[in-house]
Structure 1
Amino acid sequence: MLHSRTSSTVRFIPQLLRSSRTIAMANCTITNMVTKSPVSKTKKCANFRLCNVSSYTTELLEIRAEDPSFHVLLIPGNPGVVAFYVHFIEFLYEQLGGNASITAIGHISHTMKDWERGRLFSIEEQINHKVVFIREELQNADIPILLVGHSIGAYISLEVFKRWPEKVRYCIALYPFLTLNQNSRKQINTVKFVRSPFKSTAFSCTIALLGLLPTCAFEFFVRKSLGESWSTNAVKAACSHLSKYHTVRNILFMAKTEFKKLSEAPDWAFIRQRKTQLAFLYGVDDHWGPLEVHEELSRQVPDVPLAIERENHTHSFCCTEEGSLWVAQHVASLLKDQMTCKSTQERTLEVTGVVVNIGEG
């Protein structure tokens, strides 16, 4: 998760920034050259706002539809900075024809400001945070919730689904990080690193010091570290969020608790039970969600919908406009199929007079 220019500490800086799960903030300007088709009338800019969730200041990114048929809740990976997904959210809204409201919810203290005064939050606390958000902001809505989780956000989404099976209708896992990859040297090295309080603190301090550089200098550093494929907005987002001591400390601490939790096998029983309400997208060369896990998932749950992205967009798809567009098209196709299927079932049940809870699958 977390390459060297001077010292062993500095060697980790580009790796953190280049992390497959590190994604970046973008603003609401999308260049038309990405989309080959004409601009849709449903194109909207995502709006940023702060929300209080169980007394924790939370960053949200959202697009509200006038008359939504369902609500898409996006749960990011780690770092959990919602602005990473601006392009993805706006493309997804357009692909869905403006028929859905979309909200991306950030992780606690993965924020531009240190609202929580240095406190560190575990993966379990981040899961509970999402559950409370649904209870406080979405529970009373008359439309179903469809979850989209990226990387460790896929794991969080599945856990949320377990706790709200009557409210969540469908869940899509993008490049899911569901279990440890014992064949990944990157993961092994990262586990050793995040388990050391000294190394985590020293690294966070080093990043914070670099963040004091003039904006143009730090952006140049990030650009060279990340490569030329990331969008300008993604680079600026990395500068705004990943240069903060409290954010980096929380990224590393959350990773530490992730590795402990994901040392266990995935909950195959739950996936079997809810397989008609789940879909998974894997990448070809992704050590966080390797094809070995895709194959194991196929063996454990033969009929669960599985797909492999072969367009070389990588785990950090949302750091480029091209990747965001491709994944948005894929997700929109799944969501449309799911809602069409459910609508047909509901109409059939209404005609026959049978009453069931569709949300129970």
Structure 2
Amino acid sequence: MDSELKEEIPVHEEFILCGGAETQVLKCGPWTDLFHDQSVKRPKLLIFIIPGNPGFSAFYVPFAKALYSLTNRRFPVWTISHAGHALAPKDKKILTTSEDSNAQEIKDIYGLNGQIEHKLAFLRTHVPKDMKLVLIGHSIGSYFTLQMLKRVPELPVIRAFLLFPTIERMSESPNGRIATPLLCWFRYVLYVTGYLLLKPCPETIKSLLIRRGLQVMNLENEFSPLNILEPFCLANAAYLGGQEMMEVVKRDDETIKEHLCKLTFYYGTIDPWCPKEYYEDIKKDFPEGDIRLCEKNIPHAFITHFNQEMADMIADSLKDDLSKM
């Protein structure tokens, strides 16, 4: 019954130009244009998901659907891709707004700073200023979320969930020690290898490989993320990853302190990107904060098998806030 319910949930796919970069936005619910909707039925709140790296928004569709159902289908749940991590199919129109057309292109948009500005640019041009926001950042998306709050503290964010948050000491984590030399020192070898292997590969073969991979990872393929094997997108993901290793070092305690009342941190017990000691450190420094340790052995990449569990946790945490909307 539950799976049938999720299948009925409308998900609208758009490709837009945001900050000069093609961007995929997946919109869960019947609302596709909040900016120009002046009707009384327009929702008062948007749940906005910022993915990890690679920032393939299609991976988060089951999670978004589960969350949309659990919040009684009252609020839109949108997921945005990272800049440069999604390319529109040849037959897909790329939408633009007058605001974005007149805006300056974001410098180094595929890098760490550019990705933060990319998300802020989207909110400026596609979401009304008075619309309340619930931000959900996963992995490096948690870092982006904190930086968005820091740069634009007037954002009407009522809650922000930082899931398996890579917000500090990334290169020192177990996975970071492996990824740092690959992403920072051998990046160009990865680029060349990717282009040589994947560029000549026929689309039918890529689609077959992706479908098989999605089945193994237990991911729905309602919006087939062909970009997984697109050299341009993989190169941008590696470029962003390299900057993460070099720049995500010190936890931003000042921003955390300023926004602590609206933040929920969710750490894993088996997470090689942000090990348990990172949870213990932040819990010690902010004992009054809503800082949780997973008790269900959910992995860092929760979108493979644990969408429902994570959606349950967030929906339960939001009950009081949403009851006032």
TM-score (norm: length of structure 2): 0.81
Match of residue 36 from structure 2: none
Task: Return the match for 2:279 from 271, 285, 294.
Answer: 294
Is the counterpart of residue 269 in structure 1 residue 244 in structure 2? no
Mapping 1:94-109, distance limit 5 Å: 94-109=69-84
CA contact (8 A) 1:268 1:301 kept: no
Max radius of gyration: which structure? 1
Report the alpha carbon displacement of residue 229 of structure 1 after superposing the two structures with TM. Answer: 4.5
Q: CA RMSD of the aligned region, Å? A: 2.9
Task: Return the match for 1:308 from 283, 293, 297.
Answer: 293
CA contact (8 A) 1:176 1:282 kept: yes
Structure 2 CA distance for aligned equivalents of residues 219 and 74 of structure 1: 23
Match of residue 127 from structure 2: 138
Structure 2 CA distance for aligned equivalents of residues 282 and 211 of structure 1: 39
Structure 1 CA distance for aligned equivalents of residues 152 and 206 of structure 2: 43
Is the counterpart of residue 200 in structure 1 residue 190 in structure 2? yes
Match of residue 258 from structure 1: 244
Report the alpha carbon displacement of residue 217 of structure 1 after superposing the two structures with TM. Answer: 5.3
Report the alpha carbon displacement of residue 285 of structure 1 after superposing the two structures with TM. Answer: 0.4
Secondary structure of the structure 2 residue equivalent to 1:214:
helix
Match of residue 17 from structure 2: 52
Report the alpha carbon displacement of residue 68 of structure 1 after superposing the two structures with TM. Answer: 2.0
CA 1:101–1:231: 2 relative to 1, 3 Å: closer
Is the counterpart of residue 186 in structure 1 residue 175 in structure 2? yes
Structure 2: stretches of 5+ with no match in the other structure: 32-40, 95-104
Identity of aligned residues (%): 23
Mapping 1:83-162, distance limit 5 Å: 83-113=58-88, 121-140=110-129, 142-162=130-150
What CA deviation, in whole Å up to 9, does each residue of 1:212-269 have, x standing for no partner? 372575248x63xx884433539x845x121100011001000011112112x11112
CA 1:84–1:302: 2 relative to 1, 3 Å: same
Structure 1 CA distance for aligned equivalents of residues 44 and 255 of structure 2: 26
CA 1:59–1:228: 2 relative to 1, 3 Å: closer
Report the alpha carbon displacement of residue 43 of structure 1 after superposing the two structures with TM. Answer: 5.4
Quick one: which amino acid aligns to residue 250 of structure 1? N
CA contact (8 A) 1:279 1:305 kept: yes
Report the alpha carbon displacement of residue 97 of structure 1 after superposing the two structures with TM. Answer: 0.6
Report the alpha carbon displacement of residue 210 of structure 1 after superposing the two structures with TM. Answer: 8.0
Quick one: which amino acid aligns to residue 133 of structure 1? F
Is the counterpart of residue 330 in structure 1 residue 313 in structure 2? yes
CA 1:113–1:227: 2 relative to 1, 3 Å: closer
Structure 2 CA distance for aligned equivalents of residues 44 and 227 of structure 1: 21
What CA deviation, in whole Å up to 9, does each residue of 1:102-129 have, x standing for no partner? 211111110134999xx97101000001
Report the alpha carbon displacement of residue 311 of structure 1 after superposing the two structures with TM. Answer: 2.5
Task: Return the match for 1:281 from 251, 266, 280.
Answer: 266
Report the alpha carbon displacement of residue 334 of structure 1 after superposing the two structures with TM. Answer: 1.6
Secondary structure of the structure 1 residue equivalent to 2:76:
strand
Quick one: which amino acid aligns to residue 286 of structure 1? D
Report the alpha carbon displacement of residue 336 of structure 1 after superposing the two structures with TM. Answer: 2.0
Structure 2 CA distance for aligned equivalents of residues 122 and 98 of structure 1: 35
